[in-house]
Amino acid sequence: MTSQIPGLPGRDLLQPLTEEIGAAVHREVERVRDEVTRPYRDSREGVRLLGGSAVLGSMAAGGATALLIRLLDRRLPPTVSAALVTAALGAGASALARAGRARMPWASPGAAPRPGT
């Protein structure tokens, strides 16, 4: 339709220009995406190793808990020793959570998140 208007370039002139601009925008978007995601792609192996260490650490903590319960079983009934270890670990977890929340005032219930602080 633009080819019928005198003084305006026809469709055959605009089509290559449009394709070139589209290709340039696509290349730039790909370059920016690669630039932004490169640090994350490079750290994937490290994150996998950290995840594996977390699993093994959890298993070790479970083994240590079982050992502690079995040691207490020598002096106390099994139910009492299990309850005692559970209560001690729960109290420790609660104390750590309370201390952590005290250092993050924005994480208290009802508080609006404060990015950057």
Indicate the helix (H) or strand (E) that contains 73.
helix 44-73
The pLDDT of residue 38 is 86
The pLDDT of residue 102 is 85
22-28: long-range pairs with CB below 8 Å, 24+: none
Reported as half-sphere exposure (CB side, CA atoms, 13 A), residue 34 has a value of 6
pLDDT, tens digit (0-9, with 9 covering 90-100), for 32-84: 999 988 888 888 888 899 999 999 999 999 999 999 999 999 999 999 999 99
The pLDDT of residue 7 is 64
114: Cβ contacts below 8 Å, ≥ 6 apart: 106
Is 110 a residue whose pLDDT tops 70?
no
The pLDDT of residue 88 is 95
Residue 2 pLDDT grade (very low, low, confident, very high; cuts 50, 70, 90): very low
Taking the complete model, does pTM exceed 0.75, yes or no?
A: no
